[in-house]
Amino acid sequence: MDSRGSQTQYMGWRIDYANPRGEPGFVGPDSVHWRIYKNPVALAIGGVAAVLLEFADPRIRSGVWDHSTYKADPVGRSRRTAIAAMVGAYGPQSAARRVIAGVNKLHAKVNGATPAGEPYRALDTELLDWVSATAVYGFLTAYDRFVAPVSAADRRRYFAESGPVARLYGVQNVLTSEADFEAMMHRLAPRFEAHPIVDEFLTIIKTGKGQARALGFFYRAVARAAVSIVPAPVRAKLQLGAEYDLGAVDRMLVRAAAAVAERFPAKDAPSTQAPLRFGLPANSVSQPAPPGGAAGPRGAAGGRGDRFGVNARRGRNRPPLSPRSR
């Protein structure tokens, strides 16, 4: 997001993250969500990864591509999606409920059939469950991989915090752990397939369609970073080959951008406005994480490990990592 206006307007409604004073949100200042959602680089990478996971299912892919403005206005479409996520994390409950109700009303009109003739509805609970799961997985994994480690305890808190907002969207099977995500992914995996729309979507991301052309190198790095956190079985299904491997320069670039965003949040961002609602300093949730974080070593209890095979291509993607090399 590049301006306050772009983050405080949704479908003609003004969202005030700083008011009403004292009104609670669905998560609060001490939440893991506030820490993760404040970093726009992690959200961008996690959001692209989530879309790739969603587009693996032809029902969601057709629903988004046939019924949204993404092809014509990817920046605007992404901005509206980001605002819906931000208001659920940082907004007062009254604003969050209003935005979510508006999204649900739009989704109620989305139905059709895939090219193979399979019917779909945006409010199908199986699709709602998977869309929610991909976002929860994407944002958490991107932050953990490119910003700072997230401890096992904070991961549990993060999943628990996700429930209330997810249920407002109609989600029935709310994730409680990474094992839940893995189980859902494997259950849906027989449906997953490669498709030209996935390539078209990634081309939009890599070229930064509708955004500053001078930053093309950064958009390409974001696309590769997003592919790098897609679980290996899904990446294989989508046929996202070596051209999407995350190189050392890409990794350095996204981590540097994420570090800057972590240390210097925008003064008008939801993460700096929401604390004011509770009488807290604007930067109260935007302090850099301590070196090494609270997570244990990779692969150990409390560390990230490699549950979903995202490191399966490590021989080409990156050398073995120690906890200090994130």
Q: Please write the tens of the pLDDT for every residue from 12-66.
A: 678 999 999 999 999 999 999 999 999 999 999 999 999 999 999 999 999 999 8
Which has more confidence, 69 or 237? 237
Confidence of residue 299 (pLDDT cuts 50, 70, 90): very low
Confidence of residue 8 (pLDDT cuts 50, 70, 90): low
- Going by C-alpha positions, the residue among 71, 186, 89 that lies closest to residue 135 is 89
Determine the 3-state secondary structure of 111 from DSSP: strand
pLDDT for the residue 10: 61
For residues 312-321, average pLDDT? 36
CB atoms within 10 A of CB 110: 17
For residues 104-128, average pLDDT? 95
Confidence of residue 1 (pLDDT cuts 50, 70, 90): very low
pLDDT of 307 over the 50 cut: no
pLDDT for the residue 108: 95
pTM value is 0.84
Average pLDDT, the chain: 85
pLDDT for the residue 264: 92
pLDDT for the residue 295: 36
pLDDT for the residue 79: 74
pLDDT of 91 over the 50 cut: yes
Residue 111's DSSP bridge partners are 121
pLDDT for the residue 283: 87
pLDDT of 310 over the 80 cut: no
**Cβ atoms of residues 11 and 102 within 8 Å:** yes
Residue 218, CA distances (Å) to 68, 138, 155, 158, 326 in order: 25, 19, 28, 28, 19
The percentage of the chain sitting over the pLDDT mark of 90, rounded to a whole number, equals 71
Structure tokens at 185: 């992914």
pLDDT for the residue 57: 98
Structure tokens at 14: 């003004």
For residues 182-195, average pLDDT? 98
For 171-182, b/e burial (b = at least 16 CB within 10 A) is: bebbbeebebbb
Q: What is the pLDDT of residues 215-268, one digit of tens each?
A: 778 999 999 999 999 999 999 999 999 999 999 999 999 999 999 999 999 988
pLDDT for the residue 151: 97
Structure tokens at 129: 């469950």
pLDDT of 112 over the 50 cut: yes
pLDDT for the residue 322: 32
Mode of pairing for the β-strands spanning 111-113 and 13-14:
unpaired
Residue 236, CA distances (Å) to 226, 233, 244 in order: 14, 5, 12
